[in-house]
Amino acid sequence: MNKVGSIEVITGPMFAGKTEELIRRVKRLEYAHKNVVLFKPQIDDRYEKSYIVSHNQKKALCVSLKTSQEMLNYVNEETDAVVIDEFQFLDEDAVDIAVYFKRKGKRVIVSGLDRDFRGEPFNNMPNIFAYADTILKLTAICVCCGNDATCTQRIINGRPANYNDPQILVGASETYEARCAACHTVVGKKYKYE
């Protein structure tokens, strides 16, 4: 009988608990004696190189990737689950590789930001959503008003970032805040309907 694979996506803004939820699922798989391989992109060096680490310091040992194709070297017939944190930072092959693992009967669990600091879809995330069997969209708490936060606010020198700033700037609470849509600000962003 063929094993049926799946793709699960955990998404939302920064400080919503995405990595914590990812680690929770990993612990359940390990408790069930499943063979799990964890990955994160090398660019995510905020805490530790060889660990997926949540903002509240929960962590799990992982392989740090330069390219998504490196995952193919670590996943084999005995692998039950493939877990990938910070999926938005991986290259365009990441989606095809996740789908390949699903077709091979693997449980693929992915976490990543759905939108960048500009409030726009983040790299390959919309594509993995299209292939996902389940999507869990988490919210944080807006630091300005206390409502549910769905946006990631980048702060530069105490002020909201400019739309033309680079899309990727790895950081944590020193650079980013969770905000609701009403409190989220991007200097210089042009909206189609205003």
Structure tokens at 13: 């803004």
With a threshold of 0.95, does the pTM exceed it? Answer: no
Please tell me the predicted confidence (pLDDT) of residue 50: 82
Please tell me the predicted confidence (pLDDT) of residue 68: 97
Q: In DSSP terms, which residues pair with 149 in a beta bridge? A: 140
Please tell me the predicted confidence (pLDDT) of residue 35: 97
Please tell me the predicted confidence (pLDDT) of residue 172: 62
Q: In DSSP terms, which residues pair with 83 in a beta bridge? A: 38, 109
- Residues near 7 by Cβ (< 8 Å), separated by ≥ 6? 98, 99, 102, 108, 110, 128, 131, 132, 133, 134
Positions marked active-site: 86
Structure tokens at 106: 């693997």
- Residues near 28 by Cβ (< 8 Å), separated by ≥ 6? none
Please tell me the predicted confidence (pLDDT) of residue 190: 80
> What type of residue is 53?
V
Asked if 8 and 110 count as a contact pair (C-beta separation under 8 A), the reply is yes
The full set of domains in the chain, from first to last, is 6-139 (3.40.50.300)
Please tell me the predicted confidence (pLDDT) of residue 14: 93
Return d(Cα 171, Cα 44) in angstroms, integer.
9
pLDDT, averaged per 10 consecutive residues of the chain (194 residues), comes to 88 95 95 96 79 78 94 97 96 97 98 95 96 98 97 92 84 83 90 76
